[in-house]
Chain A
Amino acid sequence: FVSSLAMNVVGKSALSRTDVEPALAEMKRKLMERNVAEEIAEQVCDSVGRGLEGQRLASFTGVASFVRSAFEEALSGILNKRAVDVLMEINKSQVRGKPYVIVFCGVNGVGKSTNLAKIAYWLGGHGKKVMIAACDTFRAGAVEQLKTHCAKLRVPLYERGYEKDPAKVAFEAIRQAERDGQHVVLVDTAGRMQDNQPLMRALSNLIAVNNPNLVLFVGEALVGNDAVDQLTKFNKALSDLAPTAAVAAAGGGPSARGGTDGAALARRHGGVIDGIVLTKFDTIDDKVGAALSMVYTSGAPVMFVGCGQTYVDLKKLNVKSVVKSLLK
């Protein structure tokens, strides 16, 4: 794409908006082909374009690497987000004698339960005692799905069957885990569409009542433009709809762990999602754009990447290679 840019700017002193416009349009198209949401591709190109304006170019060969590195830098900057060190945080909770609670949420069928099981396996490998809480009390087979994983992983399951209040099941599971000296509780939740108000409210209630240490949003790499809406609405619904700790307490709900974890409580009033689990990364070839859409929209880091259907198919995000695929 840089050829079109080169034609226009050789011999000029500084780049103008019209000089870079064709190159940006081509770049936007490329990002969209790689499955970046339209709106995000537009915004990224716009901001890179603004950065390029007025820049001086020394030579013809400088142009190609110049624009490329501008995009490289911008994309890496977006994707490189600091994430909490989960294992270290778990150690800290262990010292206090409290289980570290992770809630998994997201829309239907993205891989919440499967990747929760992978993370249980990973934690087990690090010597952590893990309990799984079956708080998808709605979808057919959801409880049996976790039962199967727990049997294979030799991990205890806390379940109360179907049609129970998920917030309450989570609460009981956490107390049970504390009694049993578990280090981590992984809370599975039912899939829900981001604009289904009653279901979103139920999820924020679960989070308000149980005040987890970590809220993970699970999104699939296959998703297109909807990624933006999913993350925006999950974040918003969870912070807007969450009853305050006081209300939850008055309603009989526990604000149990709030005292020792004031920081987590405060954080709940800003963005809610602490990290992203990006799943089905093995199904998209070089169309890796959903990673960019999700991180750009939420500001949350990709903490885990699911890349297959077995327990070992869990990786960290390789920002370099994602950026490379986006620009290839």
Chain B
Amino acid sequence: MVLNELGARISKAVSSLGQSMLIDEKVLDGVLKEICTALLQSDVNVKQVANLRNGVKKRVNIAELAAGLNKQRVIEKAVFDELCDMLDSGADPKKLELKKEKGKQQTVMFVGLQGSGKTTTCTKYAYFYKKKGWKPALVCADTFRAGAFDQLKQNATKAQIPFYGSYKETDPAAIAQQGVLRFKEEGRDLIIVDTSGRHKQEAALFEEMKQVAAAVSPDIIIFVMDGSIGQAAFDQAKAFKEAVEVGAVIITKLDGHAKGGGALSAVAATKSPIIFLGTGEHMDQFESFETKRFVQRLLGKGDVSGLMDK
């Protein structure tokens, strides 16, 4: 995952502190500049980067630092805390993990911008849980995009997962409802609803998304975001969150060169954690994700508890 490249640059900047005999305002500014450039080149929201810079400077008051303290450690911890704040949705990802309960049938709805990877990711998600013993099923509620049902059908067939959709029905809410009902009757315990791509500028599309959500009352709504998205990420993610109850985020296409910073910014906008990463077009190119672990990797720290205690 190329996100690591960003981590390497940040930890290099932080560790360069160790080389300067005297850590003063100027040295700190230099390190922050390096970190901020790395973040900006990774598409993190420009305002968030400015906030991070100010946040670190506030946490580390160089002039007032007691003589005995290890300045490098203090700065390192400040950067870590700021990054965690930026990435931390506040929600507990453990609570979002699907738990198998007898008799319980979960419905999951996928939403996102056009072409972000929803349909592909639906199957990956279903396949992931199928391997864990769940009985997933896929519902195609995208009645707009040409070939959408064929796409889901072909993917589902390959993964040997039952699917539902229609070439004739034009109302996505109706078809979503029928599909979910059918699979509940058939006793599937994980019903995944794929929807059309949409964007905040078109109100009718957001209205449609609300109708689908109302029709299937999903247990969780997953927002799928392209890892290469730039500065438009925050506003779009925020609008989705305001329209429906987004509970988790999946970032796709991280097998490419993009570092995913735009999508990371979306976490702040949706107040929802990233739970999976898409790393290829194939069904099994899918990784689970945890913020803490990720930030640790960003800073090149295997064990962060030591850092936190000092």
> A residues touching B (Cβ–Cβ < 8 Å)?
29, 32-35, 37-39, 107-111, 113-114, 117, 138-149, 193-196, 220-227, 229-230, 233, 280, 282-285, 287, 289-290, 309
> B residues touching A (Cβ–Cβ < 8 Å)?
37, 40-43, 46-47, 113-117, 144-155, 158, 199-202, 226, 228-233, 235-236, 253, 255-259, 261-262, 281
**Contacts A141-B149, A280-B115 given; 14 further ones with Cβ under 8 A?**
A29-B46, A37-B230, A140-B150, A140-B152, A141-B147, A141-B150, A144-B146, A145-B146, A149-B146, A195-B256, A195-B257, A221-B232, A222-B232, A224-B258
Query: Please, which residues of chain A bring their CB within 8 A of the CB of B261?
Result: 224
Task: Report yes or no: B256 in contact with A107, Cβ–Cβ below 8 A.
Answer: yes
Query: Please, which residues of chain A bring their CB within 8 A of the CB of B255?
Result: 193, 196
Task: Report yes or no: B154 in contact with A140, Cβ–Cβ below 8 A.
Answer: yes
A157 to B155 CA separation, bound complex (whole angstroms) = 23
Query: Please, which residues of chain B bring their CB within 8 A of the CB of A280?
Result: 113-115, 199
Query: Please, which residues of chain B bring their CB within 8 A of the CB of A39?
Result: 41
Rounded to whole Å, the gap between the CB of B74 and the closest CB of chain A is 27
Task: Report yes or no: A147 in contact with B147, Cβ–Cβ below 8 A.
Answer: yes
Query: Please, which residues of chain B bring their CB within 8 A of the CB of A230?
Result: 257
Query: Please, which residues of chain A bring their CB within 8 A of the CB of B151?
Result: 139-142, 144-145
Task: Report yes or no: B281 in contact with A33, Cβ–Cβ below 8 A.
Answer: no
By beta carbon, the residue of chain B nearest A42 is: B37
Task: Report yes or no: B42 in contact with A225, Cβ–Cβ below 8 A.
Answer: yes
Which one of A110, A117, A138, A283 contacts B232 once the chains associate, using CB atoms below 8 Å? Answer: A283
* A283 and B228 in contact, given A193-B257, A195-B257, A309-B114 (Cβ under 8 angstroms): no
A265 to B152 CA separation, bound complex (whole angstroms) = 40
Give the 9 A-B CB pairs with smallest separation, nearest first: A224-B230, A141-B151, A145-B147, A109-B115, A224-B43, A148-B146, A144-B150, A140-B154, A193-B256
Rounded to whole Å, the gap between the CB of B40 and the closest CB of chain A is 5
Query: Please, which residues of chain A bring their CB within 8 A of the CB of B113?
Result: 222, 280, 283
A139 to B154 CA separation, bound complex (whole angstroms) = 9
Task: Report yes or no: B147 in contact with A225, Cβ–Cβ below 8 A.
Answer: no
Task: Report yes or no: A282 in contact with B150, Cβ–Cβ below 8 A.
Answer: no
A223 to B228 CA separation, bound complex (whole angstroms) = 6
Task: Report yes or no: B115 in contact with A309, Cβ–Cβ below 8 A.
Answer: no
By beta carbon, the residue of chain B nearest A110 is: B115
By beta carbon, the residue of chain B nearest A30 is: B46
Task: Report yes or no: B155 in contact with A140, Cβ–Cβ below 8 A.
Answer: yes
Task: Report yes or no: A223 in contact with B147, Cβ–Cβ below 8 A.
Answer: no
A33 to B15 CA separation, bound complex (whole angstroms) = 29
Rounded to whole Å, the gap between the CB of B229 and the closest CB of chain A is 5
A221 to B231 CA separation, bound complex (whole angstroms) = 10
21 contacts between A and B (CB under 8 A): A32-B46, A33-B46, A108-B117, A109-B115, A109-B116, A109-B253, A111-B114, A114-B146, A138-B281, A140-B150, A140-B155, A141-B154, A145-B145, A196-B255, A221-B232, A222-B229, A223-B230, A225-B41, A225-B42, A227-B230, A289-B231
Rounded to whole Å, the gap between the CB of B196 and the closest CB of chain A is 9
Task: Report yes or no: B147 in contact with A148, Cβ–Cβ below 8 A.
Answer: yes
Which one of A193, A283, A290 contacts B114 once the chains associate, using CB atoms below 8 Å? Answer: A283
A227 to B231 CA separation, bound complex (whole angstroms) = 12
Task: Report yes or no: A284 in contact with B232, Cβ–Cβ below 8 A.
Answer: yes
Rounded to whole Å, the gap between the CB of B32 and the closest CB of chain A is 14
Rounded to whole Å, the gap between the CB of B153 and the closest CB of chain A is 8
Question: Taking each of A110, A193, A289, A290, which has the highest tally of chain B beta carbons within 10 Å of its own beta carbon?
Answer: A193
Query: Please, which residues of chain B bring their CB within 8 A of the CB of A143?
Result: 147
Rounded to whole Å, the gap between the CB of B82 and the closest CB of chain A is 19
Query: Please, which residues of chain A bring their CB within 8 A of the CB of B200?
Result: 283
By beta carbon, the residue of chain B nearest A219 is: B228
By beta carbon, the residue of chain A nearest B254 is: A193
By beta carbon, the residue of chain A nearest B229 is: A222
By beta carbon, the residue of chain A nearest B148 is: A141
Task: Report yes or no: A287 in contact with B147, Cβ–Cβ below 8 A.
Answer: no
Task: Report yes or no: A109 in contact with B226, Cβ–Cβ below 8 A.
Answer: yes
Query: Please, which residues of chain A bring their CB within 8 A of the CB of B256?
Result: 107, 193-195, 226
Task: Report yes or no: A290 in contact with B230, Cβ–Cβ below 8 A.
Answer: yes
Task: Report yes or no: A107 in contact with B228, Cβ–Cβ below 8 A.
Answer: yes
Which one of B150, B199, B231 contacts A224 once the chains associate, using CB atoms below 8 Å? Answer: B231
Task: Report yes or no: A226 in contact with B144, Cβ–Cβ below 8 A.
Answer: no
* A35 and B154 in contact, given A109-B226, A224-B258 (Cβ under 8 angstroms): no
